[in-house]
Structure 1
Amino acid sequence: MKNCLAAIILILSFCSTKLYAQEIDTIPINTKDLNIKLKRSPLPSRQGPLNFEPVKIKPLVVNAKINYWKTRTNIGINVNQAQFSNNWKGGGTNSVAVGGLLNWKAEYNKDSYSYVSELVLQYGKIKNKDQLQKKTNDRIFWDNKASFQLSKSWFFFGSLSFESQFDNGYSYSVTNGQETATLISKFMGPGYLTESIGFEYKPVKYFSTRIGTGTARQTFVLDEKLFLDPTNNANPPKATVYGVEYGKKVRNELAFQIVSAFDKDIFTNTNLKARYQMFIPYQDFKMSNIDHRLDVALTAKINRFMNTSLTGVLLFDKDTGTNKIQANQTLALGFGFTFPR
């Protein structure tokens, strides 16, 4: 009974407190006759017009120079080796092959003018057991081209190129089981210097065709030993070697020349580079006298430092001493470095 009475008293006190609080909160206050002064703001105030003065800011000068040059260098080193034990019944020959490649390219572009210089150096050798050393690659090629843009895809150009080889070249024969080498070429034997002017068609960055309407080529054979028969000194010297007559060192030709170049990544980390050159002498303008050369290089990058390459050359030049198409092909796996990366 006492607990019920306490609960009723608690409920009545809570309700009365709530009603009293509601009355207090809703009592209106009449401020009509009250003198209420607002406290003055501590923030300063300014009256009248505002005057703005311009602030002089010194221009920021950036000490930067525009570089119109782009350079790129590719270096490749290939090493192949094969070793067989003395009792190996499958057949084979111990061999070691080493090859190197350097490809340097510099390009200058400003307004309508451009200049491109490209240097290609290749050299390789192979040594088989019980045989003489033989070359697998040997080339020096330096091409320079300056051009002026005439329209979106056409340029007027002038070019100068040089081509030769580093080392002596030999033909090999076996007589009575003994291998002998006969000298057939060497540095500047032959060597080629070509000057050309004309028009270039370049619709995209990776393809171009030069039409050299005015082209001059000098063929050099500086060593008279290439004219002699090393097997028999009594034989008369050859009348011509690489188109150069005996007793002379240089042959001059005027010709019409076409040079087409292709250089593009055809797949991810796979580059195809091709260069075709056609040389037609004006002196003897015949289809049978046209010189053709096609260089193709397919390079696939394996990782940052390793790549594999497949290269090939097709050549038709009657001045080299044959009327047939010459060809060579190389497949290599090695190390490659590119600067800048």
Structure 2
Amino acid sequence: MRILVTGGCGFIGSALVLHLVQDLGHEVLTLDALTYAANPISLKPLESSGRHRLVEADICDRDAVRAAFGEFKPQAVMHLAAESHVDRSITDPGAFVRTNVIGTQTMLDAARELYEGLTGPDREGFRFLHVSTDEVYGSLPPGGFFTEESRYDPRSPYSASKAASDHLARAWHETYGLPVLVTNCSNNYGPRHFPEKLIPLMILNALEGKNLPVYGDGLNERDWIHVEDHAKGLVAVLERGRIGETYLLGGRAVRNNLAVVHGLCAAFDRLRPEAGPHERLITFVADRPGHDRRYAIDCTKAERELGWAPKKTFEAALEETVAWYLANEAWWRPIREGRYKGDRLGLAG
């Protein structure tokens, strides 16, 4: 297939593009604005494949988006491009409304224009997959789980803008008949994660002997899905999902933030015992505004309908992630010393 992926140089996007091209043999056009969280080096393994091309463009730029659709003529769109860092949304909400709402509308409009000109099998097979987050559902009570029927209750500018984009995607399906699918995922982890999110930030701080700052009491709970499991789940939804439906993709690995940091310290103690014990680096800092207490996903629908399930075991894959960062300083060092300024962003995951 010819698949257009937005945000393909980001963390989840790069894992998806690598899977689509290397494992499945699809032809992919990556549309990415190459902002601070994007890293084209992540897609360097595809340079000689002949099945991948990167176009630097903002999804809010209607002319650039229409040109990409017109030239590539995708058979499917996987829309991941978004501003996604909660703390940044608190300080600059306008950027999140622009990219996540206006950008999604621009993508939907371009897809609709292409779709309305298709006939026969091309029209029947076309799909627009909108990728979102479990944060649109707000905060869960202890022991609760989100399902596809959960009520939207966003609490931050980030989650509110993503909730709006979800509603737009569904509206373009209901109003215009665009064959839309929506996914909402839990927290991702794994290789090539931008170093202001919880897990990579803690890994790099531990590597450099710096404090490991934890928001509040550290007991905020998140469900963690490995980025490669998520990428495979997105493909399963694209290939086998029912048009107009939403699918929740989670890792069945609910952990509080403090437990995650302790797990990282344990992994470091095994991999770099000479610098341990790493738990001595844990510090607690003031909580952030509107910090949701618990997210957790019940992914039964995706497992039942699509035959997909997360495969990675959290503790083992967490240590694999630590090992990846230890072995790939050339990937993260320029970010750590350049675009990334070492502030406190993303401590909650």
TM category, shorter: under 0.3
Write 1 or 2 for the structure with the bigger share of strand: 1
Radius of gyration: which is bigger?
A: 1
Write 1 or 2 for the structure with the bigger share of helix: 2
Normalising by the residue count of structure 2, what TM-score does the alignment of the two structures yield? 0.26
